[in-house]
Structure 1
Amino acid sequence: MFPVEMRGTKHPVHLWELETQIEPAALQQIRNIASLEWVYGVRVMPDVHVGKGAVVGSVIAMRQAVAPAAVGLDIGCGVSAVKTSLIDAELYNLHALRLAIESTIPVGPNSHDRPVDLKRLGLDQGWARFWSGFRDLHSGVQRLESRARAQLGTLGGGNHFIEVCVDEAGHVWLTLHSGSRNIGKELADHHTEIARTLPCNQGIADRDLAVFLAGTPQMDAYRHDLWWAQEYAARSRAVMMGLLKEQFARHFGRARVTFGKEINVHHNYVAEELIDGETMLVTRKGAIRAGKGELALIPGSMGAGSFVVRGRGNDASFQSAAHGAGRRMSRHAAIRAYTVKDLIAQTAGVECRKDQGIVDEIPAAYKDLRSVMEAQKDLVDAVQHLRTVLCVKG
């Protein structure tokens, strides 16, 4: 059934969702993207929905150009997952565990009060080199280094989460979803403003899709800051996972708990990749790389579980897949449509917050994850379905 070719676009667009199921505003954004002269092709994932400039759930291959909006404001946003040695029958007092996690890993706008002991977590390598790169970032963020240091290893809000899950065989997993926090957004905003002023972007369909061109100082500066923010996001997830494992082991007994190999993947990022024999800049915004044999995590909505997947390396999608369930309604619409009572009903059996502050993250505000997985069965194979038993939100 999929992919479906979108008609009437300047450059090829392949959809893993029916046009009739995509909101009109998102369809227009897709057409705007495909009208850019530097675009080689656009691939649209089944979790597609409106974003800023470019839709969430898009994979865009460009020749010698990149649009910051095709990466997203949360540069390097992604997910991590690790399998533990425990089984579901050994879980107990998840409420106390959730409170312990929330006391250790700041959520929402909060930051760490003191530096995390990275040596204790076994994560003390490469930090001097990494932080020395801060002074070379855009001048507009130089005042934010202390904040960036304090927010590293913190969850943030919105659709970011920490979860304890159980797979189909009863094995317990830890998963989390977060990005580059305020520093990533600030860098994205500064560079987008620069791109809008460039002569190459005058007259494009949407000024939010302004691009940088290869061989220009503006492109070099953006890519430098982009790589740094992507590394920040990956390191931040690693720190959070270290803190999460520490709390998990403390709660259940260190001698009883061991951890497998971690999955840590971006779903808002840029990479140089070979597309049809040509090296291009590929942006994935709300999409993961699904190269043949590569493992990744595709989460659903709050408390709705996730899938551990293995990529099939499908070239038709630029070796990509959906990053999650994708929103089906805006946050404001969700708050108008649902109540705390609805949230309690839809998260039954999950240890989590159940208050007005997270009604916008109610499962019904998102697409059905199993439907998304069905639409992309040519892109990934499901390895494990993870059922959520504990969820931490910002």
Structure 2
Amino acid sequence: MHMNNISGKDLLAIGYQQGKMLGLALEVLEKHYQGAEHEAVLTLMKDLLERPEAFLDHEILEDLATKMIEDAKEIENTIFLNNTSREFAVYGSEYIAAGAVAQMQTAMKLPVTVAGALMPDAHQGYGLPIGGVLAAKNAVIPYGVGVDIGCRMALSIFDITEENFLLNRDTYKRELIAHTRFGAGHGYHGKDRTDHAILDRNEFNLTQFIKALKDKAYSQLGTSGGGNHFVEWGIIEFAEDDQPLNIPKGKYLALLSHSGSRGMGATIAGYYTRLAKELCKLPREAANLAYLDMNSEAGQEYWLAMNLAGDYASACHEVIHDKLAKAIGGTLLAKVENHHNFAWKETWNGEEVIVHRKGATPAGKGVMGIIPGSMTAPGFLVRGKGEETAINSASHGAGRQMSRTAAMQHITRQEMQAMLQANGVTLIGAGLDEAPMAYKDINVVMEAQKDLVDIVAKFSPKMVRMADDGSKED
């Protein structure tokens, strides 16, 4: 009788694959079949591999057979990517790191992908890169929208002169501090809370999960998140008359804010991303691109929750701008608002698609938007050109050239202060992770997308408020 221990090579030879199941099989053999006849055990293991259901009552191999059946079902339910990536437009490719391009290439292999584009401020994120635009057929990707659902820019332009601002900086600083609140978990309580029609929306009764978020939403209404979120005073300059906005050439005081749907949006994003991953089994490299079918209950639920979070984000900006407008007086000449981190139903090449803009600005023909730089670099009021190869999109800012960790390791507080002073900017709060040097040159980014947007006016930050510690959203 030929007695010998069976090796992994032996199991591979009869059809086992490298991986978890091979290791489990070897563990069982070592524990229960030491010294057994070699050929008989190999025959048994081959039979197990080919017909695991026949071993569900086997005294020793039952557990292994069960795991084999479960593993086979998981593989069977896996949604495979296309072998090749669809082509996609890249703007400012020389400024975009390879990691972001690789993420976009993976997204372009999804079976639901119709088209894609990468904006010049793009950098690596989770699932879809930040600065990535993806059009999908009848599917929505929670991580293609992002964690901060409906994050947006809002700009209010007043009939107040630059001179008035410069002469009354202390007043503007006092009001900015008094009427803004920042950072993860921060909110208002009791009589300080603001009522708003958004809180009466039926979608808050959509599910028990959404309903449970209403109190947090009420508390954080009119507040801003951490990280790169801000509220700032600045001077906006129109080099020529702008007829659509009815604003004559000149310089005006403006209020610019950037924030999203706070804790409510983050919680919705987390919940539906987990659900998508359970329902949509993608290969490991694409796991964060798990999508929900728009015809499914989960897909419809997420769509309604996403839109609620987006409208809530808009309400937060409305509260902040209304408070500060009332505090400073003056007449509001115009208000422009746009959001990113969202998904829209749009028509592309004659078919309805779901367009995800994760850190990208809608730039359809004639559509207004705001593209900020950094706390010392200018931002731009723009009008979209409706470029189809960009899926009617543009960048949502300058984009990071340093990770938060790298910025904190390589930029000193003194360097940051020197740059603020050189640009005449007063900063309230913010960590080194948001230092201007951590961002790409906004002028280079704008040049890379001159085919996507026209510049209407230039906004120069003068007084910036951010979260005290640079904290991220809760």
| Superposition TM-score, scaled by structure 1 size | 0.89
Please report how far the alpha carbon of residue 238 of structure 1 lies from its aligned counterpart in structure 2 after TM superposition.
Answer: 1.0
- The 2-side partners of 1:116 and 1:295 are apart by 33
**Alpha-carbon contact 1:115-1:150 (below 8 Å) kept:** no
Which of 93, 102, 105 is residue 31 of structure 1 equivalent to?
105
The one-letter code sitting in structure 2 at the alignment partner of 1:69 is Y
Please report how far the alpha carbon of residue 127 of structure 1 lies from its aligned counterpart in structure 2 after TM superposition.
Answer: 3.9
Which of 99, 108, 128 is residue 174 of structure 2 equivalent to?
99
Q: Helix, strand or coil: the match of 2:426?
A: coil
* Number of the residue aligned with 2:92: 17
After superposing the two structures, state which structure 1 stretch, 231-240 or 106-115, moved more.
106-115
Q: Helix, strand or coil: the match of 1:167?
A: strand
Please report how far the alpha carbon of residue 340 of structure 1 lies from its aligned counterpart in structure 2 after TM superposition.
Answer: 0.9
Correspondences of 1:256-335 after superposition (within 5 Å): 257-335=330-408
The one-letter code sitting in structure 1 at the alignment partner of 2:133 is V
The one-letter code sitting in structure 2 at the alignment partner of 1:134 is F
Q: Deviations over 1:177-222 (max 9, x none)?
A: 1100011000000000001011x43336321111111211111111
Query: Cα distance 1:331–1:392, how it changes in 2: closer, same or farther (>3 A)?
Result: same
* Number of the residue aligned with 1:4: none
- The 2-side partners of 1:383 and 1:151 are apart by 33
Correspondences of 1:1-394 after superposition (within 5 Å): 9-18=84-93, 20-91=94-165, 92-109=167-184, 110-114=186-190, 126-127=197-198, 129-130=200-201, 132-137=202-207, 139-168=208-237, 169-198=250-279, 200-203=280-283, 205-249=285-329, 257-348=330-421, 349-353=424-428, 357-394=430-467
Please report how far the alpha carbon of residue 117 of structure 1 lies from its aligned counterpart in structure 2 after TM superposition.
Answer: 7.4
- The 1-side partners of 2:257 and 2:294 are apart by 34
The one-letter code sitting in structure 1 at the alignment partner of 2:151 is C
The one-letter code sitting in structure 1 at the alignment partner of 2:158 is T
**Alpha-carbon contact 1:98-1:392 (below 8 Å) kept:** no
Query: Cα distance 1:195–1:128, how it changes in 2: closer, same or farther (>3 A)?
Result: closer
Please report how far the alpha carbon of residue 28 of structure 1 lies from its aligned counterpart in structure 2 after TM superposition.
Answer: 1.7
**Higher RCO, 1 vs 2 (CA within 8 Å, ≥6 residues apart):** 1
Q: Helix, strand or coil: the match of 1:207?
A: helix
- The 1-side partners of 2:251 and 2:390 are apart by 33
- The 2-side partners of 1:226 and 1:388 are apart by 31
Rg larger in structure: 2
Q: Deviations over 1:32-66 (max 9, x none)?
A: 11111110111110000011111000111001111
Please report how far the alpha carbon of residue 142 of structure 1 lies from its aligned counterpart in structure 2 after TM superposition.
Answer: 4.0
Query: Cα distance 1:146–1:15, how it changes in 2: closer, same or farther (>3 A)?
Result: same
Please report how far the alpha carbon of residue 234 of structure 1 lies from its aligned counterpart in structure 2 after TM superposition.
Answer: 1.1
Please report how far the alpha carbon of residue 270 of structure 1 lies from its aligned counterpart in structure 2 after TM superposition.
Answer: 0.8
Query: Cα distance 1:217–1:334, how it changes in 2: closer, same or farther (>3 A)?
Result: same
**Alpha-carbon contact 2:92-2:449 (below 8 Å) kept:** no
Q: Helix, strand or coil: the match of 2:333?
A: coil
Q: Helix, strand or coil: the match of 1:226?
A: helix
State the aligned residue count.
369
**Alpha-carbon contact 1:201-1:211 (below 8 Å) kept:** no
Please report how far the alpha carbon of residue 9 of structure 1 lies from its aligned counterpart in structure 2 after TM superposition.
Answer: 4.8
The percent identity for this pair of structures is 33
CA RMSD of aligned residues (A): 1.8
| Superposition TM-score, scaled by structure 2 size | 0.75
Query: Cα distance 1:127–1:73, how it changes in 2: closer, same or farther (>3 A)?
Result: closer
5+ long unaligned stretches in structure 2: 1-82, 238-249, 468-474
Q: Helix, strand or coil: the match of 1:47?
A: strand
After superposing the two structures, state which structure 1 stretch, 204-213 or 30-39, moved more.
204-213
Query: Cα distance 1:69–1:101, how it changes in 2: closer, same or farther (>3 A)?
Result: same
- The 2-side partners of 1:127 and 1:27 are apart by 38
- The 1-side partners of 2:364 and 2:210 are apart by 35
**Alpha-carbon contact 2:199-2:214 (below 8 Å) kept:** no
Query: Cα distance 1:117–1:262, how it changes in 2: closer, same or farther (>3 A)?
Result: farther
- The 1-side partners of 2:126 and 2:440 are apart by 19
* Number of the residue aligned with 2:50: none
The one-letter code sitting in structure 1 at the alignment partner of 2:219 is A
